[in-house]
């Protein structure tokens, strides 16, 4: 069943898009990632122009994250105070990111930048998470080996402007969460990701938050930042494809509910190693696409457009 996407100017199979949305929704519920870091490259692979993929994917992230957050609210695993601070940084970052995106689009370099950003970030984060999870699994398998403690007092605890976060059981400065939020906001605008794949590791390893709370809080922040990003892209770039967004949404919302159930049944270390494997696989495919010669060396497009 082929369907024509007006903004992306390509025809794709509707069931393929529903399936992709569902698959990414499941991941969203399991790992607390918006799923954009997987979905956006998958959209590149099926022939959607990067500028359209980035702006439209932000829509789908809002829906699957919202669906995931509802499930986490029911379990009381969302730290609203921490979420609000991350959010403040995120909104500022998103506005900066869209300005940068528009500037690069006017230079005609946006597609390359988006793909390069993906390869670098996915490679680094996937690698680090994979090594860390392997070590954690090894330690917990040793006789008498408890799962590793993650809370360490470091430079984060020495910073001023401290606040108490009851749900996370933390008493830390508001500066690190603000900075994490800001970075994630910029990436959300340029890469069309919710930023969960950066936010979740940062919340666990930098801020020392318990894994149970991290997922819900990350999704809470992602909803607002990506909604804001989508709005900015739609009003400044006109690259949001509604037909594509709706198909991805339907799949995503259903998938997120299934994912939350699966995630609740697995160990934290297993979840992390699975996520790391996925991240590395997508990174490898993208890197290959950038290095190998494309089948069509020239593509036609309007001047200054895609």
Mean pLDDT of 161-188: 83
Determine the average pLDDT of the residues in 58-66: 75
- Per-residue confidence (pLDDT) for residue 108, from 0 to 100: 79
Cα(158)–Cα(293) distance, integer angstroms: 50
Residues 26 and 259 sit within 8 Å (Cβ to Cβ): yes
Share of the chain above pLDDT 70, in %: 88
CA pair distance 213, 236, nearest whole angstrom:
35
CA 6 to chain centre: 26
pLDDT tens digits along 273-306: 887 888 888 888 888 877 876 655 555 554 444 4
Lowest mean pLDDT among 153-157, 186-190, 198-202, 275-279: 153-157
Which runs of consecutive H residues, i.e. helices, occur in 157-297?
175-191, 196-201, 211-236, 242-265, 268-291
User: How do residues 141-160 score in pLDDT, each as one tens digit?
Assistant: 776 555 545 555 566 666 77
Q: Is the pLDDT of residue 205 over 80?
A: no
pLDDT tens for each residue of 80-116: 888 888 899 999 998 898 888 888 888 877 777 777 8
Which residue has better confidence, 49 or 154? 49
Q: What is the pLDDT of residues 224-243, one digit of tens each?
A: 888 888 888 788 877 778 88
Average pLDDT over residues 164-191: 82
The mean pLDDT value of the chain amounts to 79
Global confidence as pTM: 0.68
Average pLDDT over residues 175-185: 87
Burial class (CB in 10 A: 0-12, 13-18, 19+), 289: middle
- 156 burial (CB, 10 Å; 0-12 / 13-18 / 19+) is middle
Give the model's pLDDT for residue 146: 52
34-59: average pLDDT: 79
Q: By percentage, how much of the chain surpasses pLDDT 90? A: 2
3-state DSSP assignment of residue 202: helix
SS3 45: helix
């Amino acid at each position: 069943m082929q369907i024509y996407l007006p903004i992306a100017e390509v025809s794709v199979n509707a069931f393929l898009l529903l399936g992709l949305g569902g698959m990414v929704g499941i991941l969203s519920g399991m790992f607390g990632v918006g799923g954009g870091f997987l979905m956006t490259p998958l959209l590149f692979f099926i022939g959607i122009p990067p500028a359209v993929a980035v702006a439209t994917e932000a829509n789908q992230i809002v829906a699957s994250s919202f669906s995931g957050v509802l499930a986490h609210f029911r379990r009381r695993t969302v730290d609203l105070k921490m979420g609000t601070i991350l959010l403040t940084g995120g909104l500022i970052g998103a506005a900066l990111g869209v300005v940068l995106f528009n500037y690069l689009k006017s230079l005609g370099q946006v597609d390359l930048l988006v793909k390069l950003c993906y390869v670098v970030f996915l490679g680094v984060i996937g690698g680090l998470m994979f090594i860390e999870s392997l070590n954690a699994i090894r330690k917990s398998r040793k006789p008498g080996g408890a799962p590793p403690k993650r809370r360490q007092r470091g430079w984060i605890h020495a910073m001023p402007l401290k606040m108490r976060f009851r749900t996370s059981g933390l008493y830390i400065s508001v500066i690190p969460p603000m900075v994490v939020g800001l970075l994630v906001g910029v990436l959300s605008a340029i890469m069309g990701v919710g930023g969960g794949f950066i936010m979740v590791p940062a919340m666990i390893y930098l801020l020392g938050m318990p894994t149970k709370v991290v997922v819900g809080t990350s999704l809470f922040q992602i909803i607002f930042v990506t909604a804001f990003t989508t709005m900015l892209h739609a009003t400044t770039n006109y690259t949001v494809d509604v037909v594509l967004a709706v198909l991805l949404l339907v799949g995503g919302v259903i998938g997120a509910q299934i994912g939350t159930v699966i995630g609740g049944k697995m160990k934290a270390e297993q979840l992390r190693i699975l996520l790391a494997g996925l991240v590395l696989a997508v990174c490898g495919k993208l890197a290959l696409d950038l290095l190998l010669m494309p089948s069509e060396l020239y593509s036609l497009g309007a001047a200054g457009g895609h």
